[in-house]
A and B are shown apart, each in its own frame.
Chain A
């Protein structure tokens, strides 16, 4: 059973702080990793993806990947109340001519004004 684990939260941070969201995965064959943001009652929207070890930055967001530890994280700098949402980690791998994305349960982030 391939699994993606996230702390469900809520994770509360003050406005302007750095929010750190973590995700672990069970399958060493996983090839790429995605972070989605989901507002209540809305569908997931892509924030960023990463597939090489190390850091990848996009504006206030940084994704970090450590394949040896099977760990991926998302840092949100200068957190804003509008960042309050559920953050979903998704892991993708290919097998036998097909591929699939497995999602974690999500971490609920609350940014306090």
Chain B
């Protein structure tokens, strides 16, 4: 496809369950970002990959959050032992290059609800 693809679109998890969110970036895009967006807020940075290397994970809120991009393409964000405060929309974005003026292209997001 032409855009960033995320799955699932919606996920309901019971508190304590593990979830895995998938992101398929635009083909050839080097950079991949994960963001968390709570209702009425802007996207909050979680982590950044350049190809398969995770260069920045300073935004991950706890060690329950883990992200990987093993072959430099598809990425997975995993949340272990989900808590209610993890309920949010998780956005994946990719960018073609590494320069400071490369805009982000967002996927449609995964809305996670923890009950």
Contacting residues, chain B, for A97 (C-beta < 8 A): 55
**B interface residues, Cβ below 8 angstroms from A:** 33, 35, 40-45, 48, 50, 55-56, 91, 98, 100-101, 103-109
A-B contact pairs, 17 of them (CB 8 A): A6-B42, A43-B91, A43-B107, A44-B43, A44-B91, A44-B106, A46-B105, A49-B103, A93-B100, A98-B48, A98-B56, A99-B48, A99-B100, A100-B45, A101-B104, A102-B45, A105-B40
**A interface residues, Cβ below 8 angstroms from B:** 4, 6, 8, 31-32, 34, 42-46, 49, 51, 88, 90, 92-94, 97-106
A102 vs B104: C-alpha distance when bound (angstroms): 11
The answer to whether B43 touches A103, judged by C-beta atoms less than 8 angstroms apart, is yes
Report if A94-B100 is in contact (Cβ < 8 Å); known contacts: A43-B107, A44-B106, A100-B56: yes
Contacting residues, chain B, for A100 (C-beta < 8 A): 33, 45, 48, 56
Q: Is the interface of A mostly helix, strand, loop or mixed?
A: strand
A21 vs B93: C-alpha distance when bound (angstroms): 24
Report how many A-B pairs have Cβ atoms within 8 Å.
61
Report if A34-B91 is in contact (Cβ < 8 Å); known contacts: A88-B42, A104-B42: no
A44 vs B103: C-alpha distance when bound (angstroms): 12
A102 vs B42: C-alpha distance when bound (angstroms): 9
A102 vs B46: C-alpha distance when bound (angstroms): 11
Which residue of chain B lies nearest to A88 when distances are taken between CB atoms in the complex? B42
Q: Which among A43, A45, A102 is the interface contact of B109 at CB below 8 angstroms?
A: A43
5 closest cross-chain pairs (CB), A and B = A103-B42, A43-B106, A31-B100, A98-B55, A32-B101
A102 vs B74: C-alpha distance when bound (angstroms): 23
Contacting residues, chain A, for B45 (C-beta < 8 A): 100-103
Contacting residues, chain A, for B98 (C-beta < 8 A): 99
